[in-house]
Amino acid sequence: MRTRNVLHALSIVCAGIAALPNASSAEFSWQLAGDGRRQEVGDLLEVDGAAVSATYFFRPVDEEVGPYALAAFLNRSSRLGVSVHSDEERRSATFSLFGVPRTVTSADAMDGYSASGRYVWRDSGWYAGGGIADAHGDPPASTCFERDRELRGASVHAGKYLGRATSIELSAATTEMTEEIVLLCPLFSPFSSPVLFGPDLQSNEATLSVLHVGALGGLTYAITGEASSSRADLSFVPASYGPPTPTSLPPAGLVIVGGGVAAPPVGSFAQLLRDRFQTYSAGAELFPTMRLGIRLGYSRWDEDPVRDEGYELATTWFFQRNIAARFAFARTTQNVFDPSLRDADSVVLQLIGRF
């Protein structure tokens, strides 16, 4: 799956959503969404992404039980969803060479998919579910190295409705990112061997979250709270050398296959870093009308080596009963020495359609 394929699918989904007629029924079974997003960290990093998703609800969802954005939650709906996404990352670094400033840029792309589901026992209020995710990156190669990146994740959750419009949930997630780097340049002599190594980053997270929907007079609100504990383990594949390579290197693929270079088993990784940190988040969303929601969120990280605190402002507007637009802006403050890199900003624009 390449980036242009996801962008093409996104344009088709958005065009299809925009073409949906204004539904006369107050129920829906399908929800389609397409979104584009950008993240910036000063002048150092830019990430552009696009995603399309589809969610099926096993029983039709009644929109008239509350604000349209909360219909699935208030209906205690069981669901199954899939999504595909593509992200392109661009990095810039400026340095001085003999007094002359130089800027080096690089770009990586990662494409992936995810699937998730939830089953709700409507009478008792209990629910459970989980999800999987997989992404693959193929960074540009050069005459000196090849890289291959893969990300895999899985999650499970269980919770219970306490009353009609309050839930408490416990979830657990694990994510692993591996990267293979093959050095092909003659580093020490014209007959140096290709070298295979790479980092392995695994993170585990446990989260307790609460959602409550209430009303003050004629104004509906939703309050969320979340506390999570995360642990990250970073290790590296020890260098693995192939047979001597002649000065005139054949294509990279032939070096790997012909040389018999293979990654060592995971058990031989040397563990270099262990880190545990906590995240606390709270948010409130007000619904002046059934079609409009305005959300403000705050997050704080404890013991995180980089992130400090974050803010989010989002609005969701159903300009038709079955079509909505959502815009979100978030800023994360980072603990870094360079003042230009202390703020990481991201924006998301999403189009939602239901039928």
* CATH at 112: 2.40.160.40
What would the mean pLDDT of 190-213 be, rounded to a whole number? 80
pLDDT confidence tier of residue 77, bands split at 50, 70 and 90: very high
DSSP notation for 292-325: EEEEEEEEEEES-SSEEEEEEEEEEEEEETTEEE
pLDDT confidence tier of residue 32, bands split at 50, 70 and 90: very high
Report pLDDT for 281: 97
**Contact 149/139 with Cβ under 8 angstroms?**
yes
C-alpha 85/C-alpha 153 separation (Å) is: 15
Report pLDDT for 90: 82
Radius of gyration of the chain (CA): 24
Report pLDDT for 247: 34
Q: State the first-to-last Cα distance of the chain, in angstroms, to the nearest integer.
A: 28
Report pLDDT for 124: 96
C-alpha 108/C-alpha 46 separation (Å) is: 11
Residue 192, SS3 per DSSP:
coil
C-alpha 41/C-alpha 342 separation (Å) is: 8
Identify the residue with better confidence: 53 or 190: 53
Residues of the domain holding 153: 3-354
Q: Provide the 8-state DSSP code for 78.
A: -
Q: Other C-beta atoms within 10 Å of 247: how many?
A: 9
Report pLDDT for 256: 25
What tokens appear for 231 in the block?
Answer: 């642990």
C-alpha 163/C-alpha 26 separation (Å) is: 24
The total domain count for the chain is 1
Single-letter code of the amino acid located at 305? P
C-alpha 2/C-alpha 137 separation (Å) is: 10
pLDDT confidence tier of residue 108, bands split at 50, 70 and 90: confident
Report pLDDT for 291: 96
User: What percent of the chain stands above pLDDT 70?
Assistant: 71
Report pLDDT for 336: 76
Cα 94 from chain centroid? 28
C-alpha 198/C-alpha 93 separation (Å) is: 22
